Amino acid sequence: MESIRKVVGKNIRFYRLSKGHTQEGLAEKVDVSSTYIGYLERGQKSPSLELISTISKALEIEPALLLTSPDKGNDELKRLISLLSGKPPYSVTFVHDIATAYFKSLEDHDTQKGQLHY
């Protein structure tokens, strides 16, 4: 099991890059040095809870996302969460409705395809 410092560091790096920030840009937003951001991302330093909160606000994500062990092979889901984080509820609902309709259409297509083979 990875240390919490490594988990937090990897998540800071992942979400920072997902949001298009440089280490310098994030450091400026959270009022620390870019060197310190590098230490955090490499798991060499442990951020305080206050800094985790500040970083999550700067990245427009929930603080819990920085503390959660990354699921292997689930980067696309994390990118989607990152994209939707901080968006207004109506936007999230809209994307949810589109995704629901899309997956329903795939199920309907598979069902029709299956019926043709009978």
- What average pLDDT does the segment 34-53 reach? 97
Domain that holds residue 59: 4-69
Does residue 24 sit within a domain?
Answer: yes
What pLDDT, on a 0 to 100 scale, did the predictor assign at position 116?
Answer: 46
Does residue 110 sit within a domain?
Answer: no
Does residue 81 sit within a domain?
Answer: no
Does residue 33 sit within a domain?
Answer: yes
Does residue 35 sit within a domain?
Answer: yes
Q: Residue 86 above 60 pLDDT?
A: yes
Q: What percent of the chain has pLDDT over 70?
A: 88
Does residue 14 sit within a domain?
Answer: yes
- What average pLDDT does the segment 16-26 reach? 95
**Could you tell me the CATH number of the domain that includes residue 56?**
1.10.260.40
Total count of domains within the chain: 1
Give the whole-angstrom CA distance, residue 63 versus residue 93: 21
What pLDDT, on a 0 to 100 scale, did the predictor assign at position 13?
Answer: 96
2 closest CA partner among 72, 51, 49: 72
Does residue 37 sit within a domain?
Answer: yes
**For the ranges 51-65, 72-86, 104-118, which has the lowest average pLDDT?**
104-118
Does residue 94 sit within a domain?
Answer: no
At residue 114 the predicted structure's pLDDT band, cuts being 50, 70 and 90, is low
Tell if the pTM clears 0.85, that is, is over it: no
